[in-house]
Structure 1
């Protein structure tokens, strides 16, 4: 097996207490070849998501001294970065905060890697960098045209990585995807944002009696049922892709960009109907006006990841994704506060 020959073992996971990062930690911790170190300021992450025995450091990626201490202490062989702020609309309201946290924070992280001779970097990017792409699904080689500060920060970092490879020999993989969703199969960890803005957990809150209805923003789009189509990729499938990317990076010593998508997506009504089927709740919905800037369809393909990484999604239906999320939310009605 490849793991037997893997020389890189110490993996620093920045943002490892957050939603995607915590699921990556769960999957990576099942591989004996890896020693995991989590670095998180807990502004969005949850200390209760971290398994027993995993090393954890509470600090901010924008703290250069803390980064230097951490790299000196653990001497990681590879870095995975999930530290970015993620709300498109929030980034429009406060773009400077987004550029500072996402771009400046990543620069400090890369500077620490350069100083301590760490060569491999996995970046949690976003398919939002493609903006209002003219063709769907979005291919790996589509032209990035970010239309929000959030998306722009992701694209800027990708460009910084390319220049850093040219200057310093850094090797990196960028993984571009839209909506992470679902929860770990154990039901122990899942999605817990404050405030919550994602469709699946908001819909499940209706089933839990925490809100009266779910809003559907526009039902007159040129789609199968008039509602927007979006990509939904299970968070564990994303975690698996990050592990495959790490294996590829070390084995091939080549940088690469990968889209992670379903290639088809689901409408808002299909997601709500899946939640009705899974929960047995009627889940009332209210149609409201379209939100400014919402494209009718946003989906990506994953041809390159499938061919090069051997990545395959385990959760191939919206029902299986929603069912995993429901298993977490119905036993953690207040998120990690219930643990």
Structure 2
């Protein structure tokens, strides 16, 4: 039997982050499922998210939803965030989640340039920025509680951030600060259309899909330089993606990526990475491996120490809609294990 030696109540304390009022600190992490034929989320998608809200998740971040641009996605069943049918589907998702007492934000996504970001003219970059802004505007119109911009994991915004994928020599390339310009323009354009009170979350990662050891910033000093223009552009919350939340980001400190980001910016942060599991998520795709449930004492202690503000849970919530409720009530032995077979259901 798996027991928790420490109270999990810090996970279930309410929090107000500007206009975003949450009943607890548990966030459903965005996880691509490809269950939206031709980009249109149906009633099954609404039911999927509603079940997590009904079972006590404080904030739901949807799977990545693509903007209206030719390169935004190469996967036909990834949901769109444009077009009447897709937006009507998302309106139904919002309605179902809110009816269940939950809060929900869409993750707005561009999967990346087919070649590299140098292939885009400045005019096309402007079009992409406006496509992000249009999605943000639609999110507010549909009644979402904020938005998350996907700036991690080697997708488009991250391609601009990273020196190895951004060979541009104009104002969108060059040194680290110049490579933030595209993200800054996206954030500012979104802020302009949603107004000053609508929450904007930015997801970041140091690691890349082809290099788990990569870093955008090798030191805390460089990380502060990198984050400052993003804060100034209007980010309210940083969602700091790591493969294992317990790993220190820099030598000489136990702080993880979310901890350092909060310390350097003063902004609220979300930590994520193998919460409640004994294996990191990429092993499912590279080796077909699942993961076993493990205790979360260390996570709760870090939260209590205010190293970060929210905790994103991915695979555990994907396979077990009642994960949050079971954790709170101590029903640990009822947790559904994460296996490759379990992911085929995704109820």
TM-score by length of 1: 0.40
| Greater relative CO, 1 or 2 (CA 8 Å, sep 6+) | 1
TM-score by length of 2: 0.40
